[in-house]
Structure 1
Amino acid sequence: MNTGLPMMGQSASRVDLDTVRDESAAVSKGPARAYAAVALLAIGFGCEGNGATSDPILPGLASSGAPAVLSRTRPLMSTVFQIQVDAPPPNAENVIRQAFEEIERLESVLSEWRDDSDVSKVNRLAGKKSVKVGPDTLRVVDAGMDVSSWSRGAFDLSWAALWGLYDFRPDSIKIPTSEEIRTRTALIDYKNIRVSKKYQTVFLKKRGMAIGTGGIAKGYALDHAGAILRDAGIDNYMIFGGGQVQVHGKRDGRPWRVGIQHPRDTGSYFAALESTGASFSTSGDYENAVFDGAGKRWHHIIDTKTGLPGDKSLSVTVMTSEGIYADALSTAAFVLGPEKALKMLRRIAYPAEAVIVGADCKVYMSPKAKKRIRMNVDLVDGRLPNCKP
């Protein structure tokens, strides 16, 4: 769906949903084919990372004799979800289908584009009355409030007041005026969102406010799909959805390797993180980006305090234990910039690691990320080669 809206922190791939067939891929050797322009790529082979530069990690290659991977795709939540299972057991087809059905169920509850969804009801009644919501909506909104508080508004769940303000389509670029921005940002303040766990209600205090849960909802969907796989005895899998990746177990007996895209060379991956159980999200200024007549880059990750695209980072990759927090944290870290983002991650109780490319092309990493990363390139004075802000 081409909305022309500022999709906060979503590094979703640019996929034509009409070209994707339900459960289109078959059992194959090695990782399934990748989608174009994704910021993260799960690569089904690897060895223990030590932070040193290694041989280049090339998407789409696997060790010879690798066991079969069952891969299925389905268009959901206005993007494409893909599930890969390593050495699939006999029940894998049915279990993957159940996982997709759960994502479809969550879409009907959490979608911002369905008039009958909980989120749409909350937005429609902003400034009027509280709305009783289901447990899934309550969990997603509560997670969004967590990150809003942790980041002190760098990610703000009420960012959706900016809907329609920008249009990032190359053939119809729309950049708002300063007055239009001021009018909308006045409606953004997560402190004006009231959540009652006791009564299971959400209330927006001002008319015109709106919450946006898109990226958080996709991560939550990954969590639920992963739980279905594990409960059925499937321990080695990768799930991709809307630019987020969740991995569990191993591929070909080794940790999954998740590639991090070069922010100024979108056909290459400058590094990879290895894990046997984590969720990843990347926020980058190269997705949903356009240039105006003066050559200035305008992108979809908006600093809600200014109403303008964030300018302190080029890309941020966050690794967490749960998908529900990954997207919002990568957005918050992008807006904050490297130093403040790493300080935030040290401060909060929730464990999260990050690889950040600053506005100066310098690469910053949290301590555990340094231990897990596999570099594909040699940094020059700590900066990415072939990188211009």
Structure 2
Amino acid sequence: MKTFFSILAFFIIGIVFSQNEYTRTLKLMGSRFDMTVVANNEEEGNDFIDMAVNEISRIEKLISSWDANSQTSEINRNAGKKPVVVDEELFQLIERCIKISKLTDGAFDISYASMDKVWHFDGSMTEMPSEDTIKNSVAKVGYQNIILDATHHSVFLKLEGMKIGFGAIGKGYAADKAKALLQSKGVVGGIVNASGDLDAWGKQSNGKDWMVAIVNPLNKDKVFSWMPVRNSAVVTSGNYEKYVKFNNVLYTHIIDPRTGYPATGILSATIFTKTAELADALATSIFVMGVDTGLDFVNQLHGVECIIVDVNNKVITSNNITLKPNKD
């Protein structure tokens, strides 16, 4: 679950400049979006935000698996039957998703949407599903069965009943696209915060960096540290509100698409990198990989850093991050 409260988007102090920040909060893609732009006046700021909203709505119509008219739904309907020709934009997004799946050894997989719902995190579970039930739940999951044809821009899911979904990357992608559009329109600074998938550029109107707060996942009001965000993305994935516990093991609601078992060992993972799309996918992947494997993985990636809070509420960072404790 991407948690908007895990990232505090910005604060404004000090000198008054000719430009100001203008912010709007609304619901898009089924989630909370907080959009902030630096603009000359309120009318201009609202116009810019309207542009971003229209762009995000366009993307939702393209990638939503809930919209029966989307190209993604068309791909899913034809699983095991025939390839579906899609727009270049969607084709390239799926292509990048498969690359991330290969990079993470399947910890990230958009075919997770094929998974049977055998875990329930609403308090109704009284015992673990059987091993066979868990194994069968992921029988149709596997990025290797997503067949791309670059010549025809077609996508084919090999197994009947197989599905793809962009829940672990879609909001990050939408944030990136909204940011790119606003930059092309001359917006010098802003933030698109898609429920914790945060993409920032430029600076505040007072010339200061945008700031992100790293919070205690068990106490939203406690900030571990503030960090500047300079023309980059930050995504926090947190699972401390939806979980089940059996035999003293806390199972979070992010499921390993390779095994069908929920992730364990991590309360929240924050990823810093250039795009919200990549940060979104990697935040989910770190949960599945666990602390040690996840940290080792991130430390091998150029331009990617992470902050992990484990089940003991211990803060662990990748090699190139130094946290300065919050004094408040």
Verify the 8 A CA contact 2:63 2:70 in the aligned structure 1: yes
Q: CA deviation at 1:292?
A: 5.5
Query: How big is the shift at 1:299?
Result: 2.5
Q: Which residue in the other structure is 1:245 paired with? A: 198
Q: Which residue of 1 aligns with 2:229?
A: 275
Residue of structure 2 in register with 1:257 after alignment: 211
Q: Residues 72 and 195 (structure 1 numbering): CA distance in 2 closer, same or farther, change over 3 Å?
A: same
Aligned to 2:304: 352
Q: Aligned residue for 1:284? A: 238
- Asked if 1 retains the 8 angstrom alpha-carbon contact of 2:23 and 2:34, the reply is yes
Name the counterpart of 1:85: 37
Q: 1:231 aligns with which of 173, 178, 184?
A: 184
For the 8 Å contact 1:159–1:210, the answer to whether it is kept is yes
Task: Output one character per residue of 1:274-300: Cα deviation in whole Å (capped at 9) or x when no partner.
Answer: 12211111122214x144587764432
- Aligned-pair CA distance for 1:239: 0.9
Q: Secondary structure at the match of 1:368?
A: coil
Q: What code does the residue aligned with 2:28 have?
A: L
Count of residue correspondences: 323
1:122 alignment partner in structure 2? 75
Say if 2:34 is the partner of 1:43: no
Aligned-CA RMSD value: 2.5
**Please, which runs of 5 or more residues in structure 1 have no aligned partner?**
1-9, 14-37, 45-61, 379-389
Paired residue for 2:325? 375
- The TM-score with structure 1 as length reference comes to 0.76
Q: Kindly indicate whether the alpha-carbon contact (under 8 Å) linking 1:147 and 1:155 is maintained by their aligned counterparts in 2.
A: yes
Change (3 A) 1:152 1:295: closer
Cα deviation 1:117-136 (Å, max 9, x = unaligned): 12112222222221111123
Superimposed CA distance per residue, residues 28-70 of structure 1 (whole angstroms, 9 cap, x where no aligned partner): xxxxxxxxxx2222223xxxxxxxxxxxxxxxxx424566421
Query: Structure 2-normalised TM-score?
Result: 0.89
Q: C-alpha separation between the residues in 2 aligned to 1:39 and 1:211? A: 27
Correspondence 1:169 to 2:169: no
Find out whether 1:159 has 2:150 as its counterpart: no
How do 1:51-70 and structure 2 match up within 5 A?
Answer: 62-65=12-15, 68-70=20-22
SS of 1:148's equivalent in the other structure is helix
Q: Larger deviation: 136-145 or 296-305?
A: 296-305
Answer with 230-239 or 303-312: which moved more. 303-312
Distance, in Å, in 1 between the alignment partners of 2:244 and 2:300 is 36
> How much has 1:150 moved relative to structure 2?
0.7
Q: 1:291-342: per-residue Cα shift (whole Å, max 9, x none)?
A: 4587764432112233122113222100111111111111111211233223
Contact kept, 8 Å, 1:95 with 1:228, in 2: the verdict is: no
The amino acid across from 1:275 in the alignment is: V
8 Å CA contact 1:140, 1:213 repeated in 2:
no
Residue in 2 aligned with 1:325? Answer: 278
Change (3 A) 1:177 1:243: farther
1:129-175 Cα shifts (integer Å, max 9, x gaps): 211111232132122112111110111221112253333335x5586
State how far apart, in whole Å, the 1-side matches of 2:327 and 2:93 are.
Answer: 37
**CA 293–220 in structure 1, closer or farther in 2 if over 3 Å, else same:** closer
Change in 2 beyond 3 A, CA 1:244/1:271: same
Q: Partners in 2 of 1:324 and 1:333 — Cα distance?
A: 15
Amino acid at match of 1:126: A
- The structure 2 residue matched to 1:199, chosen from 115, 138, 152, is 152
Give the share of equivalent positions with the same residue, in percent. 32
